[in-house]
Structure formats: structure tokens, C-alpha cells
Amino acid sequence: MDISTNEEGRASVMKLNGRVDSATAPDLESALKKLVEGDKTRIVLDLADVEYMSSAGLRAMVSTLKAVKRVNGDLRLASPSPRVEEVLRLAGLTSIFSIYPNQKDAVGSF
């Protein structure tokens, strides 16, 4: 999994590429934690190029969402693939995250 982060408008955009599973989720969690610790609490997670996600990836996302919500921030999701959407739905998390069809809309929502 590759992670790239940049600032877009009022948000930090983290773009993931590849597979988010038990082997790679710790890298995601630590990258998200680094953002939050740097007071970047308006985060867009661009999932367009995530081919696969397991519960380990969801765990990293939920723990970050809880952390940023505590300081009035948010973690919003952009363009999840059908398979990632299926995993979010299986977990019952589609109502917990704000999900946008593309990165631009997610950034513009802040």
C-alpha cells in the first residue's frame, strides 16, 4: 500500500493505493495519527485506488474518526470502490462516515 498526503483547500487529503489489510493497516493508522498529532483534523481519505480493505483498515479509520471528532474535525471518505463500499456496508459503517463520490466534493465539503 502506498500513502501520499497533501493539503487541498481546508483539508488534508490522504490518498491510498493498493491493499489495506492486517499487514498494511498499521502504516495507515500511523500516517493518520501523524496528521492528527500535527493538528490536521479535517481529513479526506481518498480510497479510489484501494483494491481491497479488511477490518484492520476499518479499525484504523474508526479510531482516527473518533480522535478527530473529539476536536471538531472529521475524516471523510472519497470515491470508495464497490468492494470497499461492500466492506463498509458489512461493518455497518456507512452511516458513521461521510462518503463522497470524488475527492473534490469531499474537500469542498469542509
Partner 1 sequence: MPERRLIVSGRYDRVKEVCDFVVRAAEEAGFDESEAFQCQLAVDEACANIIEHAYGGEDQGDIAVACEVSDGELRITLRDSGLPFDPQSVPDPPPITSLDDARIGGLGLAFMRKVMNSMSYSSDGDGNTLVLIKRKSTHET
Which residue ranges make up the site for partner 1 (CB under 8 A)?
19, 21-23, 52, 54-56, 58-59, 62-63, 65-66, 69, 83, 86-87, 90-93, 95-96
**Smallest separation (angstroms) from partner 1 to the CB of 7:** 25
Phi, psi angles (nearest 5°) of residue 78? -120, 135
Between 89 and 102, whose beta carbon lies closer to partner 1?
A: 89
- Determine the distance from the C-alpha atom of residue 29 to the mean position of all C-alpha atoms in its chain, rounded to a whole number: 10
**Smallest separation (angstroms) from partner 1 to the CB of 51:** 10
d(CA 107, CA 41): 13
**Smallest separation (angstroms) from partner 1 to the CB of 96:** 5
Between 22 and 102, whose beta carbon lies closer to partner 1?
A: 22
Element (H, E) at 90: helix 82-91
d(CA 104, CA 108): 6
Instruction: Identify whether the C-beta of residue 60 lies closer than 8 Å to the C-beta of residue 32.
Output: yes
**Smallest separation (angstroms) from partner 1 to the CB of 87:** 7
Between 5 and 91, whose beta carbon lies closer to partner 1?
A: 91
C-alpha cell at 88: 463498509
Between 3 and 91, whose beta carbon lies closer to partner 1?
A: 91
